[in-house]
Structure 1
Amino acid sequence: MEQIEVGSTDLIVSDSGSIYDATIGALEQAVAEPLYPGDERRIFGEGMAAVLSRVHGTIQDAAQQVMLRYARGEVLDALGARLRVFRLDGDAARTVLRFTLGAPQALSVAIPEGTKATPDGSVYFATDETAVIEAGATSVDVPASCTEVGAAANGYGTDAITTMVDLIPYVSKVTNVTTSEGGDDGEPYTVAGDDRFRERILLAPSHLSTAGPEKGYVYYAKSADAGISDVAAMSETEWMSRELPVSAGRAYIGGELLIPETLTINGQADGFEYDYEDHLLTIRLGPELADADTVLARWQHKMDGRVRIIVLMEGGGYPDEDTLEKVRAAVSASDVRPLTDVVDVDGPELVPYDIELEYWTTPEDEATVVRSVEGAGGAIERYIYEQGSVLGRNINPDMLESYIMRPDWDDSLKGAIRVDMTSPQHLELEGDEAACFSGNIKVTHHVTTKARWSTWT
């Protein structure tokens, strides 16, 4: 994610302590004597200082709104519009509804477009097209979308949407035959929505000519769908191998797109050293290879003009074909893609991990700690979401342990006093890989009255 690194942006004094001292000091100077606590003039000054602190804070916030780092809401919209960058709308969750007749009919029964069904009376799905139950048949499957955009309608499992809102003669039953999915919130006027929009504005200058630069491809890909969490643009690679002559214990490979860290000699990744400067890879062979006439070298190199774009969905999801097609269209437009580039769009290589751990808490904190670890939005859910939201993010169990012991996202939560982690194990990922929770989880908590974390407490 793009970050804005700047120094202090305080435009006026907004620190309440400084304003208080300045206000009382000005009053004491005006009356030419100290104003002690309880003095009605000092009390008046303290009230003035409180008002001035609020005014200065409001002025500071308003002035900072012209800066991309601090802008939010409609002000951020205005900054984006200067670069022709606009908020992405959300998408509605989708499913397939099956309408079933009470008995076969002699005539066809139509299911009009827009026919609604609901799982709970608060979320509604409407059919995307008109469908017909043919004479003699008893059911038909119809694609349907939620009437409101957003991720809240995702995750309704099969047979969860069973209440018909619009009654149709002879139809006795409706149910969803697929889990609802594909809904996202776009870039709403929330902190998270503003942050995602701000990141695209930061990338916007890279798209002003074509998508040739790496960040240009990332910008266009992210702008294709609001549900995209991360994008990587990289050159495609291929393996090369060649018999190299050896001279004075050295061998050489020329080329400007080599990836020297992939080099092997005679099938081994050790027994040699190398330097790569001015497009020349100089290989210094060890004693066992230095006297050979030739060695077999194998290495990867970047393919000129071949671009690979990896797309990761919000929460670590793999993109469906519709999303991939949107990205292909966005990065391959005639006014975007350089003529010499061949672009391939795909999802990441998903690397699964399990969660198995034990943690300890005290009796008085048990309920709060269990909620902070295993509850909705707790440490485990937070870790799974954040671990899978960025391409190439190493699988790091230390972060999960930190969330369990220090749940600093909510002041009302308390952390465990000890964690024993079996999995996941630390694993470094490549830029085209993403961590994916396997669904295998075993979490056990213990209650202890011995909460000491060292021998002196």
Structure 2
Amino acid sequence: MSSIDIHKETAEDITARMVNRFEGYSKESLGLADERRWIFQTVAYALFVRNETTNEGFKMNFVRYTKGEYADEIGTFTDTERLPAHRASVVLRFEIEEPKEHLIAVSPIRVTPGNDVYFLTEYFEFKPGEISKDVIAFCTEAGVVGNGFLPGEINKIVDPFPFYKAVRNLETSQGGAEVESDNSLKKRIMEAPSKFSTAGPGDGYKYWAKTANQDIIDVDAAKTTPGTVRVTPLMKGGELPSDSVLADVMSTCSDSKRRPLTDNLEVNKPTQIPYEIDFTYYISRSNIGLVNEIQNKVLQAVDEYVLWQKGALKRDINPTELSYLVRNAGAKRLEIRKPLFTPVNIFEVAKETSVNPIYGGIEDD
């Protein structure tokens, strides 16, 4: 798409215009070493800088170009605010020594994996006869710092309570995000008109689901049975959302101003469609001096393909894209055994199970 700059002249264009006009009025010729030409060049550069500043300010009025505080202001036209830093969440399982005949009330407590990162619960209770309780906890610090702790790693209690025995996380902590980026905010601004309908459009559910967490990169929303809407979010890097992120999406989309009273709402994880990558590639003899470099680029191309393949819901498993990326990396040709073309349906996402690129050697052109 072409630029929408108001001023398109370069500093050289402005200088030439000024010199030509001066020479036309004065009937004098300005040589390259003429001091008056230097003055014109200085003024022309200042005008060029002013023009560029004007261009930049003008483009801030359009969603495609806007950034920073300008993007925040553009968002106010559709009531779309930049998402603040988000705290990671995780499901913790608490255990007590033995079942009790009375209720045990537990005030909010902190649990840590042991590296100065803390997760805080809300108030919860062990009812009579219960020995374990699953509770959602949020990182005390916003941002990505609380992401990525594997099941069982968050297991040290900071604020013990009576009859406490053990605690551990049941899932990988997820959902922590820094302040929303300009690109993410602009995408939501463009999708914002869908949120104003109260009739339950699919795009409306997609918009509100993405506001639950800025690491949600794609959402499917569709009617599964009459009166039932399923919303399926996908996280950055093609990861599945945790149970706590699903709970956030459910809460966000269930607001009385967003969900029609006639809709039964379900929020589920995508179904992963497994596939394998197995191919042999060859390098042209004319590139024999670049074999190591091409091999590294091929591995990078495979990584790029894997991320592309799981970067969106309902994206078919497509070996043609793999062939394109590997050849673009410098391979002469490749023999793809896997994957085969596989349709990926709504609420599904591709997931690699094994990756096996094999270098087949040098071939004549």
How far off its partner does 1:64 sit? Answer: 0.8
Q: Name the SS for the 1:385 alignment partner.
A: helix
Contact 1:210–1:335 (Cα < 8 Å) also in 2: yes
Counterparts of 1:422 and 1:364 in 2: how far apart (Å)?
Answer: 28
Instruction: State the partner residue of 2:125.
Output: none
Q: Distance in 2 between matches of 1:35 and 1:405?
A: 55
Which residue number corresponds to residue 126 of structure 1?
118
Alignment partner of 1:326 is 2:248: yes
2:8 to 9, 13, 20: 13
Q: In structure 1, what is the equivalent of residue 339 of structure 2?
A: 424
Select 1:64's aligned residue among 59, 67, 72: 59
Kept after mapping to 1: 8 A contact 2:230/2:265: yes
Structure 1 residue 180: Cα displacement: 4.6
> In structure 2, how many angstroms separate the alpha carbons of the residues matched to 1:97 and 1:207?
34
Q: Distance in 1 between matches of 2:44 and 2:279?
A: 52
Distance 1:125 1:381, change over 3 A: farther
* Corresponding residue to 2:350 among 435, 451, 455: 435
Corresponding residue for residue 261 of structure 2:
339
The TM-score normalised by the length of structure 2 is: 0.73
Shift of 1:344: 2.7
Query: How far 1:60 sits from its partner (Å)?
Result: 0.5
Unmatched tracts of structure 2, length 5 or more:
94-107, 123-133, 161-166
Say whether 1:384 aligns with 2:296.
no
Matched, 1:182 2:174: yes
Is it true that 1:88 corresponds to 2:83 in the alignment?
A: yes
Percent identity, aligned pairs only, is 29
Matched, 1:29 2:24: yes
Counterpart CA distance in 1 for 2:359 and 2:41 is 51
CA contact (8 A) 2:72 2:81 kept: yes
1:260-409 equivalent positions in 2, closer than 5 A: 303=226, 305-360=227-282, 362=287, 364-374=289-299, 378-406=300-328
Q: Distance in 1 between matches of 2:21 and 2:321?
A: 50
Contact preservation (8 Å) 2:113, 2:153: no
Other structure's SS at 2:118 match: strand
Change (3 A) 1:434 1:95: closer
Higher RCO, Cα 8 Å, sep 6+: 2
Q: Is the 8 A contact 2:277 2:339 kept in 1?
A: yes
Residue-by-residue CA offset, 1:30-53 (whole Å, 9 max, x unaligned)? 543454545444444444444433
1:277 — aligned with what?
none
Counterpart AA for 1:353: Y
| Cα distance in 2, alignment partners of residues 183 and 396 from structure 1 | 29
Whether the 8 Å CA contact 1:360–1:416 is kept in 2: the answer is no
Show the counterpart of 2:196. Answer: 208
| Distance (whole Å) between structure 2 residues aligned to residue 25 and residue 180 of structure 1 | 69
How many corresponding residue pairs?
Answer: 336
Contact 2:86/2:176 (CA < 8 Å) preserved in 1?
yes
Return the match for 1:76 from 71, 80, 92.
71
Kept in 1: contact 2:111–2:154 (CA 8 A): no
CA deviation map 1:277-326 (0-9, x unaligned): xxxxxxxxxxxxxxxxxxxxxxxxxx4x4333222222222222222222
Q: CA separation in 2, counterparts of 1:435 and 1:129?
A: 34
Contact 1:77 1:87 in 2 (8 A): yes
Is this contact kept in 2: 1:352–1:437, CA < 8 A? yes
Calculate the TM-score normalised by the size of structure 1: 0.60
Q: C-alpha deviations, 1:124-182, integer Å up to 9, x for none?
A: 4224369xxxxxxxxxx9998666544466445579899x9x9x9xxxxxx98777530
Q: Which has the higher helix share?
A: 2
Tell me: CA distance 1:201–1:35, structure 2 relative to 1, closer, same or farther (3 Å): same
User: RMSD across aligned C-alpha pairs, in angstroms?
Assistant: 4.2
Higher strand share: 1
Distance 1:150 1:339 in 2: 34
